[in-house]
């Protein structure tokens, strides 16, 4: 910078204070902070009555902050107070809500969380928060998603068997028609 530019900056600081320069450029914000701000703007905070949308938004932010740590802070670590607040909200608000809102259906739109969020969160709890993972509420959720997986597999096998039977049926009647019509 030239001397005159530095002189103008010094004059600006002398006249308006040191904070005046910082007001021109927004403070650096991490991806998690931007996600939290968008959650606030959409009124998706966890202190509000929970629904599928708010729980999904919280889990997305939780996964970004706690699992994908490159998003958490510029230097790759999370503040201790943020970690405590996120874990407290997870344990006292989110997990009980998920446990209460389990619906025994194969319609994924009625599940409390997505399978992807469940797998990521379950792996995180096993590795980092084993006491929470071993708790009754989370074990109920693990059982719930285990049963859903079994049921999905059973329906997939039934559909495959039905498809095979229909193919055999069609092949049989196509051949039978061929011989009955005398086209051989």
Q: Report pLDDT for 52.
A: 86
Examine residue 119 and state whether it is found in any structural domain, yes or no: yes
Examine residue 122 and state whether it is found in any structural domain, yes or no: yes
Report the length, in residues, of the chain. 184
Residue 8 pLDDT > 60: yes
Q: Report pLDDT for 133.
A: 92
Domain that holds residue 129: 28-180
Examine residue 117 and state whether it is found in any structural domain, yes or no: yes
Which two tokens mark 152? Answer: 């999905």
Residue 4 pLDDT > 90: no
> Mean per-residue pLDDT for 70-96?
76
Residue 56 pLDDT > 70: yes
Examine residue 16 and state whether it is found in any structural domain, yes or no: no
State the total domains in the chain: 1
Residue 1 pLDDT > 60: no
Output the CA torsion sign for 48, 52, 53, 54.
positive
Examine residue 97 and state whether it is found in any structural domain, yes or no: yes
Examine residue 151 and state whether it is found in any structural domain, yes or no: yes
Examine residue 17 and state whether it is found in any structural domain, yes or no: no
**pTM > 0.75: yes or no:** no
Examine residue 158 and state whether it is found in any structural domain, yes or no: yes
Question: For residue 74, what are the CA distances in angstroms to 20, 32, 68?
Answer: 24, 11, 12
Residue 136 pLDDT > 90: yes
Cα–Cα distance measured from residue 115 to residue 109, given in angstroms and rounded to the nearest whole number = 11
């Amino acid at each position: 910078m030239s001397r005159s530019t530095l002189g103008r900056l010094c004059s600006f600081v002398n006249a308006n204070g040191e904070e005046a320069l910082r007001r021109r450029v927004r403070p650096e914000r991490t991806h998690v902070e931007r996600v939290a701000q968008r959650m606030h703007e959409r009124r998706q905070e966890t202190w509000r009555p929970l629904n599928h949308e708010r729980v999904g938004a919280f889990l997305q932010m939780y996964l970004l902050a706690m699992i994908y740590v490159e998003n958490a802070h510029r230097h790759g670590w999370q503040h201790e107070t943020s970690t405590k607040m996120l874990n407290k909200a997870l344990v006292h608000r989110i997990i009980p809500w998920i446990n209460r809102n389990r619906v025994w259906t194969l319609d994924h739109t009625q599940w409390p969380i997505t399978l992807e969020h469940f797998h990521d969160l379950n792996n995180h709890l096993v590795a980092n928060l084993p006491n929470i993972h071993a708790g009754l509420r989370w074990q109920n959720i693990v059982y719930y998603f285990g049963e859903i997986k079994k049921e999905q597999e059973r329906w997939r096998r039934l559909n495959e068997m039905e498809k095979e039977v229909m193919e055999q049926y069609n092949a049989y009647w196509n051949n039978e028609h061929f011989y009955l019509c005398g086209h051989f």
